[in-house]
Amino acid sequence: MTFFDKIKLKFWHFIYGFFIPVQKFLLKYGIIHHQIQRQKYHIGWLAKGKTLEELKLHLHSNWGFGNHFVAWTDNGQVLSWRKLTDFQDQYHLRVFKDGEIRGHFEFTPEAHPIEHLEEKGEVEKKEDFLKFLGGFVVQKKYISHL
């Protein structure tokens, strides 16, 4: 990690505490905008008989996924988690209340805030996500009620 990256990381650790309330305020008063539709990069559906809590335990324990609270919230989203590969890049996974799972590989907002906001550098990486999800994902649509 470069010296500049370390400074950015310290800055983000400082703003994590108030990021969500500020983001909600800016959205509420139209200062910033976010499309609430689901992003692209469909991966599959939560498998029948699997729960969101079981999925979270699997992703965290086996692959190091964790909360990604600085991400936008898409319509119907019940989980937004990320797996850092390093300070620069991350896997970002979303689960929706109907059981749909979407995800992509991207720059971290901490390292590249402008590029991240503009969705530059997003890559599908479906095969990686299928490996992470294992038996928790199916391709045939199964609608959960999460």
pLDDT at residue 114, rounded to an integer: 81
Q: What is the mean pLDDT of the chain?
A: 88
The rounded distance, in Å, linking the Cα atoms of 50 and 145 is 11
User: Whole-prediction pTM value?
Assistant: 0.82
The answer, yes or no, to whether residue 87 has pLDDT greater than 80, is: yes
pLDDT in tens, 92-121: 999 999 999 999 999 998 888 888 878 899
Distances (CA, A) of 36 to 14, 39, 60, 134: 27, 9, 26, 28
Q: Output the CA torsion sign for 108, 94, 81, 59.
A: negative
pLDDT in tens, 44-76: 999 999 999 999 999 999 999 998 777 778 889
Per-residue pLDDT band for 19 (boundaries 50, 70, 90) equals low
pLDDT at residue 128, rounded to an integer: 99
pLDDT at residue 6, rounded to an integer: 82
The rounded distance, in Å, linking the Cα atoms of 113 and 98 is 30
pLDDT in tens, 20-45: 677 667 667 777 666 777 888 999 99
pLDDT at residue 88, rounded to an integer: 93
- C-beta atoms surrounding 132 within 10 Å: 21
